[in-house]
Structure 1
Amino acid sequence: MPAELHRTRVDLEGLMKVLGDHLYSTPVVALRELVQNAHDSCERRRIEDRSPFTAKIHVLADPSARTLSIEDQGAGLTAEEIERYLATIGAGYTRTLRQSRPDAESGLIGFFGLGFLSAFVVAERVEVWTCSYQQPDRAWRFLSRDGHSYSLEQGADRPVGTRVTLHLQEAHASLANPSAVRRLLSRYVCLLPVPIHCPLDAALARREDHWGEAVNAVPPPWRPLAGGDEVENEPSPLRRRKLALDFARRFETDFEPLCTMPIVGAGPLTGMLWVQDAATYGSSDNRRVWAFVRGMMISDDARELLPRWAGFIGAVLESDRLTPTASREDLQRDAAFDAAQAQIHESLIEGLAALARDEPASWRRILNRHNEALLGAGLCDDRLFALVSEQATLPTSQGDLPLARIVQSSQGRLYVSQAQRGGFEELLFRALSLPVIQGVRYGALPVARRYAESRGLPLVILGTETGERALFRPVADDELEAGVAAALRQGFAGEGVDVVLSRFAPPHLPFVLVPDRDVELKQRIEADEADQRISTAALGLARLFTAAIDTGPPMRLYLNLDCPLLAALGRGLAEASPGAAQVLTLLRPLVALLSHIDEQQRYMSSEQALRALCTLGERMLEDRHE
């Protein structure tokens, strides 16, 4: 039996419910969609009708009647067009016009033919009065309560254009609040070229035909001035910066904009970026991006357009090449989206460089607030690293210092500690009066490494064997008198401690107890608690790394044979001198007390060390009385 061809059927009621209730994330979208339709109607009339007209849109919110009306002086609709486009889901005249007139592409917004559906999300009844420029002597009234069915009748004479009135559901009565609607419009439609008026008193505006200033009267800072007097009317640089900051403040409500940067270069975008005037940490993500397509706001959270490192940046972006999703609340991830990301990245690099060059006061404020974030950002781009590495600061044992000063103070080296707090590094380098970079802070170690590599400087990572070789010069047993090396090792021996004879500065520091940071890491990763804190996949990768680490003694005690006391002690212990034994009893507790190591990893506990010192003091006093 041959296969039969059937037509797919549509459950209109079910489809309307899905599209009406679930296509849009917020009912506020209805306002945007209907204003967009009004705009496209004006564009259509401009393209098709040779008669002169003034394009404008009126949005009237009436709380007493609980209605919201959107009225335009656009092309209007004939009865046939009402049936073909307004009353047919997915059929939009804008798409037809765009396909038949490619030259009209840039001014039109709509595409999917779904915008009118949004009216039924918020309204219990929708009325449309319309008159087409093609039949200016014939007007029509469309009425629908649920979008499933509608009535159409000839209406009273009216000017060419369309008025859509939503009789709002009680749950969406806020859309009849003129102040609230005006605030929404000031964001959603502020880039549209057609003037949009939203008077606070709709009845008064109609009666006196006075609509006030359009909500989109002020053009965005990146748009060229209207007319031919651009040069004559060009604002001063100071005035331009103020206008740009004022525009940014209309959007950025969480943080005060500190300074702005233009979108530059070839790509799908125009617009502006700004730096938020609020202190951030390296991992802060306060990115805010308002994305407009053909003048209409599509998203107020298009943060993926910004680099991940730009957690302190806000932006308003405009494009006619980005493609919205069907709900027009997000952007499709396509080649144009990728090009926009690349353009923003370049604009940020160039903009920050220009601020550092031309606005040093603003640049210093940026560094003060976003130092860590900029250092991390520099790791993602060589140009940005060159820009920030000379002035940004790294956390050190002597406070936050610029890298150049750290190098100067450290005699041409960079010392980095990986200790969570305190540690031998603090003791040793305080004695040496050298700054140590706190490598556990955000981005500090990779920034120090990149800086050292770019300038051919030695990088000493403390707590590793390589780093320790740069600090401690080993001493062979045969360099000392007979029995000295063995006596010192035996005298300072402790559980889990490798005693190392060495020479290091300063000579008045007799010893340093150094934890093996690699062994510490291995122990933390392999501990049972790690299973509860780290995901299985990440933990597996970490354990692959730590498997290559030898499980040796977790601590190394470096004895300084440049210290006269240690040298004399070694000889005394080798000769079994009673005085040397007493000095050893004094020094062993000091190793623990000066080590700055976690209690469970100490050479001896603090309690044991203090008891030993007290016992020694008592014994010395008793010996003196005898």
Structure 2
Amino acid sequence: MALENGSISINTENIFPIIKKWLYSEKDIFIRELVSNASDAISKLKKLASIGEAEIGEDNRYLIRVVVNKDENTIKIIDNGIGMTEDEVKKYINQIAFSGAKDFIEKYKDKTDEGQIIGHFGLGFYSAFMVAETVQIDTLSFQKGAKAVKWVSSEGTEYEMDESELDTRGTVITLHMAEDSLEFLDEYKMREILVKYFSFLPYELYLEDSAKKEEPVKDDADKENAEGEEKKEKEAPKPLNDISPLWLKAPKDCTDEEYKSFYTKVFHDFNEPLFWIHLNMDYPFNLKGILYFPKLKHEFETNEGQIKLYYNQVFVADNIKEVIPEFLMLLKGTIDCPDLPLNVSRSFLQNDGYVSKISSHITKKVADKLSALYENERENYNKYWDDINPFVKYGCLKEEKFFDRVKDIVIYKTTNDDYATLKDYLERNKEKHENKVFYITDEKQQAQYIKLFKDNEMEAIKLTTMIDSHFISFLETKESGVKFSRIDSDLSDSLKDTEAVSVDAAQKEGLEKLFKEVMEDDKLKVQVESLKASAVPGMILLSEQSRRMQEMSKMFGGADMSYMFPKEETLVLNSNNGLVQFILEAKDDEARKDDVKMICQQVHDLAMMGHKQLEPEAMTRFIERSSQIMLKLAGK
């Protein structure tokens, strides 16, 4: 061919500054684009061969090589794909933004599968100029009689074309790296980038460092080591990628061990996942992947999910919210969707309606998996619940359709250490609970209240995660007539002793007045009841509404906003208890005045300690007072 010089046809004015500064957010994207194009070239050739329009002879091992050379400041991307003729170079390289993949698909639309072609974007090749001063293409088409072509451009707008010495089918792209991009010549950095984007590329991918030199052999020990190294070098090099990721297999052909091994390999998490969902569909869109429910070491890990999105086995990004419903970000997984309408930089999506259908399908599959576990493996479902319940509740809050699908399989661990749905809980406690759902948030702090419930054959559910306060408010709007009350917010009639001798109004008034004086608190609320548990002298109740408002103010306000809410803590005195009876009998006895005061303070603090932790000063007084009481008992 004759030497040709010319100007590249650019469809958009000043497109190169856009490519370099705006189109791609990260410089390493050039590797993703060029290796993707190489994979695309192989896919085209493979498809043509399968329909009898290309002869590839015995050379049917498809592979891609990336070669870094620090001495020459070059990076080469080499493939043995379809190659290009002189006319195709002019068309696909010299006319920026004309997509070779689009043209190929149009020509073979009745014979090929569009999903197998990665490079829908003609601009991808030009990402090379983000890092290279000069780019050279050497390419030889698969077509019989084709001549190899060399294309060189130093500025990205002027090019030179000539014959190439390349004698094997495929394409070699040589990047002469710019001074500000020499870090990409480092073998370890390049390996990191290739593994990031191409761990599951469908064709074997190799990294080579041509600048590595052999060290001279000095003595016998060195010679022995060198022979060992030589033997090692003779072993066949291994590709960086797995060309057949697990998500491509049919679920029925995958073993539990394979799922676990894949999880460890991809996420470097050596804790086994609880269970997983294998997505595998071809219609109405092509979607494959595996979602894992990880075991959480602590609740804060619920923000640390990672779902990797792939496009024909090429990594695109983590946690793209348009495709992955927000609540699924708590999971770990891989999703490969060749039908995604990505834009030119493959970082954003272009068709919200289509993408929302993909998102809805993923949500449905997750709900179906949870329902299947509940129906068929209830024991395992119960076992998983402590780990997955924050995820399920968050999903209910964020996705109406998800809530509709799983609302009947949301379960609760009870103070009897079994699991029940809301419906089951209400049914078995309807006689004593008056259609209320009692719950606890801290087993240790609320131990006294739990014991009262258990002694009276009552039960509460355990709500111990941060999301629970939001979740129960949400449920109260969804479940007609259901109200949640923390175990220390109300006194059920089932806990009261209806057969005990009642305390008259005057005695109740006297007790309230006495405790206000002793505790020096005019706003203290006192309630006198006869409880079945005679060993309990007193307990604190805080209304559900008041506590929720206080918690909300702390969560959203940060500062102490308690002044905005009236103090609604109530001291309940148990008239069935000996200490309260002593106070009633001795409160007017001047000789026992100090003892009565001390016991009133002790009863109050004991009740408060069952409700929440005492402030430091109050705790100091409680300890000193306890010592005085014991000294009195000891006759000292």
- TM-score normalised over the length of structure 1: 0.74
Matched to 1:51, the amino acid is: A
Query: How far off is 1:500 after superposition?
Result: 2.1
Checking the alignment, whether the CA contact within 8 Å between 1:287 and 1:313 is kept in structure 2 is yes
Query: How far off is 1:116 after superposition?
Result: 0.8
Residue 51 (str. 1) matches residue 57 (str. 2): no
Residue 144 (str. 1) matches residue 153 (str. 2): yes
What are the superposed Cα offsets for residues 166-197 of structure 1, whole Å, 9 maximum, x if unpaired? 1233554454455654554455345554x334
In the superposition, relative to structure 1, how do residues 301 and 61 fare at CA in structure 2: closer, same or farther (>3 Å)? farther
Of 91, 109, 113, the match for 1:84: 91
Residue 167 of structure 2 corresponds to 158
Residue 461 of structure 1 corresponds to 486
Checking the alignment, whether the CA contact within 8 Å between 2:586 and 2:592 is kept in structure 1 is yes
Secondary structure of 1:316 counterpart: strand
Taking the aligned partners of 1:122 and 1:496, their CA distance within structure 2 comes to: 73
Residue 241 (str. 1) matches residue 256 (str. 2): yes
Query: How far off is 1:321 after superposition?
Result: 1.5
Q: When the two structures are aligned, how many residues end up with a matched partner?
A: 574
Matched to 1:328, the amino acid is: R
Residue 442 (str. 1) matches residue 466 (str. 2): yes
In the superposition, relative to structure 1, how do residues 223 and 599 fare at CA in structure 2: closer, same or farther (>3 Å)? closer
Checking the alignment, whether the CA contact within 8 Å between 1:502 and 1:559 is kept in structure 2 is yes
In the superposition, relative to structure 1, how do residues 89 and 351 fare at CA in structure 2: closer, same or farther (>3 Å)? same
Aligned positions of 1:411-422 closer than 5 A: 413=433, 414-417=437-440, 422=445
Checking the alignment, whether the CA contact within 8 Å between 2:140 and 2:168 is kept in structure 1 is yes
Residue 558 (str. 1) matches residue 572 (str. 2): yes
Residue 585 of structure 1 corresponds to 597
Residue 198 (str. 1) matches residue 206 (str. 2): yes
> More displaced, 23-32 or 154-163?
154-163
Residue 486 of structure 1 corresponds to 509
Query: How far off is 1:364 after superposition?
Result: 7.4
Checking the alignment, whether the CA contact within 8 Å between 2:85 and 2:146 is kept in structure 1 is no
Matched to 1:66, the amino acid is: N
In the superposition, relative to structure 1, how do residues 442 and 562 fare at CA in structure 2: closer, same or farther (>3 Å)? same
Residue 220 (str. 1) matches residue 220 (str. 2): no
Of 345, 348, 364, the match for 2:366: 348
Residue 27 of structure 1 corresponds to 27
Taking the aligned partners of 2:325 and 2:35, their CA distance within structure 1 comes to: 32
Checking the alignment, whether the CA contact within 8 Å between 2:460 and 2:487 is kept in structure 1 is no
Residue 261 of structure 1 corresponds to 277
In the superposition, relative to structure 1, how do residues 166 and 355 fare at CA in structure 2: closer, same or farther (>3 Å)? farther
Checking the alignment, whether the CA contact within 8 Å between 1:282 and 1:373 is kept in structure 2 is no
What are the superposed Cα offsets for residues 418-443 of structure 1, whole Å, 9 maximum, x if unpaired? 78994xx5444446656765656424
Query: How far off is 1:484 after superposition?
Result: 2.8
Matched to 2:171, the amino acid is: T
In the superposition, relative to structure 1, how do residues 567 and 401 fare at CA in structure 2: closer, same or farther (>3 Å)? same
Residue 218 of structure 2 corresponds to none
Secondary structure of 1:150 counterpart: strand
Structure 1 residue runs without a partner (length 5+): 1-8
Query: How far off is 1:218 after superposition?
Result: 4.2
> More displaced, 413-422 or 590-599?
413-422
Taking the aligned partners of 1:359 and 1:334, their CA distance within structure 2 comes to: 37
Query: How far off is 1:515 after superposition?
Result: 4.0
Aligned positions of 1:163-202 closer than 5 A: 163-176=172-185, 181=190, 184-186=193-195, 188-193=197-202, 195-198=203-206, 200=208
Residue 328 (str. 1) matches residue 346 (str. 2): yes
Checking the alignment, whether the CA contact within 8 Å between 1:138 and 1:157 is kept in structure 2 is no
> More displaced, 337-346 or 576-585?
576-585
> More displaced, 328-337 or 427-436?
427-436
Residue 3 of structure 1 corresponds to none
Matched to 2:174, the amino acid is: T
Aligned positions of 1:526-537 closer than 5 A: 533=559
Of 100, 109, 129, the match for 2:118: 109
Taking the aligned partners of 1:531 and 1:474, their CA distance within structure 2 comes to: 42
Of 250, 271, 281, the match for 2:265: 250
The alignment-based identity, stated in percent, is 18
Of 114, 127, 132, the match for 2:136: 127
What are the superposed Cα offsets for residues 567-624 of structure 1, whole Å, 9 maximum, x if unpaired? 5643665xx444675653243111332122679999x955666777888999999xx9
Query: How far off is 1:30 after superposition?
Result: 1.5
Checking the alignment, whether the CA contact within 8 Å between 2:307 and 2:329 is kept in structure 1 is no
Taking the aligned partners of 1:578 and 1:592, their CA distance within structure 2 comes to: 21
Query: How far off is 1:281 after superposition?
Result: 0.9
What are the superposed Cα offsets for residues 387-437 of structure 1, whole Å, 9 maximum, x if unpaired? 5626xx46x6x9x76458999999965533578994xx5444446656765
Structure 2 residue runs without a partner (length 5+): 1-8, 213-232
Residue 96 of structure 1 corresponds to 103
Query: How far off is 1:327 after superposition?
Result: 0.6
Query: How far off is 1:198 after superposition?
Result: 1.3
Taking the aligned partners of 1:563 and 1:210, their CA distance within structure 2 comes to: 84
Residue 6 of structure 1 corresponds to none
What are the superposed Cα offsets for residues 116-173 of structure 1, whole Å, 9 maximum, x if unpaired? 1111122222111123345734222111122121111223363443221112335544
Matched to 2:277, the amino acid is: M
Taking the aligned partners of 1:263 and 1:122, their CA distance within structure 2 comes to: 38
Matched to 2:573, the amino acid is: L
Taking the aligned partners of 2:558 and 2:472, their CA distance within structure 1 comes to: 32
Over aligned residues, Cα RMSD in angstroms? 4.9
Residue 66 of structure 2 corresponds to 60
Checking the alignment, whether the CA contact within 8 Å between 1:270 and 1:318 is kept in structure 2 is yes
Checking the alignment, whether the CA contact within 8 Å between 1:473 and 1:502 is kept in structure 2 is yes
Taking the aligned partners of 1:615 and 1:210, their CA distance within structure 2 comes to: 83
Taking the aligned partners of 1:276 and 1:524, their CA distance within structure 2 comes to: 29
Checking the alignment, whether the CA contact within 8 Å between 1:569 and 1:580 is kept in structure 2 is no
> More displaced, 33-42 or 170-179?
170-179
> More displaced, 26-35 or 405-414?
405-414
Taking the aligned partners of 1:243 and 1:523, their CA distance within structure 2 comes to: 49
In the superposition, relative to structure 1, how do residues 61 and 113 fare at CA in structure 2: closer, same or farther (>3 Å)? same
Secondary structure of 1:16 counterpart: helix
In the superposition, relative to structure 1, how do residues 286 and 305 fare at CA in structure 2: closer, same or farther (>3 Å)? farther
Secondary structure of 2:162 counterpart: strand
In the superposition, relative to structure 1, how do residues 301 and 587 fare at CA in structure 2: closer, same or farther (>3 Å)? same
> More displaced, 249-258 or 267-276?
249-258
Taking the aligned partners of 2:614 and 2:383, their CA distance within structure 1 comes to: 44
Checking the alignment, whether the CA contact within 8 Å between 2:432 and 2:494 is kept in structure 1 is no
Taking the aligned partners of 2:613 and 2:279, their CA distance within structure 1 comes to: 55
Residue 584 of structure 2 corresponds to 570
In the superposition, relative to structure 1, how do residues 41 and 522 fare at CA in structure 2: closer, same or farther (>3 Å)? closer
Query: How far off is 1:51 after superposition?
Result: 3.0
Secondary structure of 1:251 counterpart: helix
> More displaced, 563-572 or 64-73?
563-572
Matched to 1:62, the amino acid is: V
Taking the aligned partners of 2:54 and 2:583, their CA distance within structure 1 comes to: 107
In the superposition, relative to structure 1, how do residues 556 and 300 fare at CA in structure 2: closer, same or farther (>3 Å)? closer
